[in-house]
Amino acid sequence: MALLVGATPTARGQQQDPPRRTTSSRRIPVTKDRPARPAPAAPAPAAAPRVNQDSIAAAERARQDSIAAAAERTRQDEAARRDQIRRDSITIAERQREDSIAAADEARKDSIARVHDRAQSRDALRIARRHNSGFYMGIGGGSTMPMSDLKTSANNSYLMGWNVTVPFGWDFNGFPLGLRFDLAMDNLRAAGNFVDASNAPVLGRNVAIFSGSGGLKLNVPLFRTASRFYLIGGAGAHRITGYATAANGVDSAQTIQNAKTNVGWYGGAGFNFRFGRSALFVESRYINIDTKQPVGFPYDKANYIPIIVGFQF
């Protein structure tokens, strides 16, 4: 505007005076007035983006479908679990039923087997006990122990010896009593304290006692077996041989031919263990003999106990 004001008189003077062309070598800077640029307006707020209703609807549908699918899977899993539990219950019940049937069948078979075994056992026992009846004989042996004066006398005593016995007899079927007979020989070893009537030392000899005896036998079964316990008792005839050799060389011993027969009695017990038709027996008895004072035998009685082990057929 100042330039415009300054230029007005100049224009007027040029109009009054004839124009003169004056040339200057100096350039005068001329500044043109330019209209002021308006200040840039603040950017308008961006318009809110338009919500895509289809996307929201699709997301909602996807969420609903996911919830429905999860619920359906849960329902199907639950149904499958219940069905599996039902099948397992049926399987367990069927297995228990089969086990019960098998156990009942096994028990029935066991019962039949036990009845059969008991029947066989009774038959076998009856047969075995029948084998215990009738005639029997055996062979046995063992040791013989002197008793009373034969063992404890200060002079002319005897030590333990040996025995051989052949038993035979008859047992009755269904009746506990039977008959028992024995043929036996007992040998007692002489101790080193033999003297004659004048107390002079003499050479002692073994005593051999030959016996034949008979009596009764009481059989007692051992539980439900063919074996049994038994008692025996009876009387017998005995010949005592041996004794001593006199110091003067005259033999005072008796032989079985010239020995006197002495009567005695016995009582004892034993066990009979049956094996089929044969049996093992173990027994012992106490034997008492009333002697007739033979030459060289200074005792009125001879007492001894044989212990015998043998087989019966």
Which tens digits make up the pLDDT trace of 241-250?
Answer: 876 655 544 5
Confidence band of 179 (pLDDT split at 50, 70, 90): very high
Q: How far is CA 64 from CA 59, 71, 75, 91, 121, in A?
A: 8, 10, 16, 40, 82
Nearest CA to 291 among 225, 239, 242, 215? 239
pTM of the predicted structure, to 2 decimals? 0.59
193 has a pLDDT exceeding 90: no
**Predicted pLDDT at 23:** 53
Mean pLDDT highest for which of 82-86, 154-158, 274-278? 82-86
CB 311 within 8 A of CB 139: yes
pLDDT value at residue 113:
84
Q: Which one has a higher pLDDT value, 101 or 9? A: 101
pLDDT surpasses 80 at 294: no
Q: Across the chain, what does the average pLDDT equal?
A: 81
pLDDT band for position 252 (cuts 50, 70, 90): low
Confidence of residue 186 (pLDDT cuts 50, 70, 90): very high
pLDDT (0 to 100) of residue 249: 44
C-alpha 61/C-alpha 272 separation (Å) is 101
Question: pLDDT tens, 122-177?
Answer: 766 666 666 677 899 999 999 999 999 889 988 888 999 999 999 999 998 888 99
Residues of the chain by 3-state class (helix, strand, coil), percent to 5: 30, 40, 30
**Percentage of the chain exceeding pLDDT 90:** 34
Q: Is residue 50's pLDDT more than 80?
A: no
Question: If DSSP codes are grouped into helix, strand and coil, which group holds residue 273?
Answer: strand
pLDDT confidence band for 118 (50 / 70 / 90): confident
Q: Are 281 and 140 in contact (CB under 8 A)?
A: yes
With beta carbons less than 8 A apart as the criterion, state whether 183 and 211 touch. yes
pLDDT at 7 over 80: no
pLDDT of amino acid 298: 74
Q: What is the pLDDT of residue 65?
A: 82
* 184 in Cβ contact with 164 (< 8 Å): yes
Strand spans (E) along the chain: 134-147, 158-171, 177-190, 203-204, 207-221, 228-241, 244-245, 261-275, 278-290, 301-312
Whether residue 206 contacts residue 190, with contact meaning beta carbons closer than 8 Å, is answered with: yes
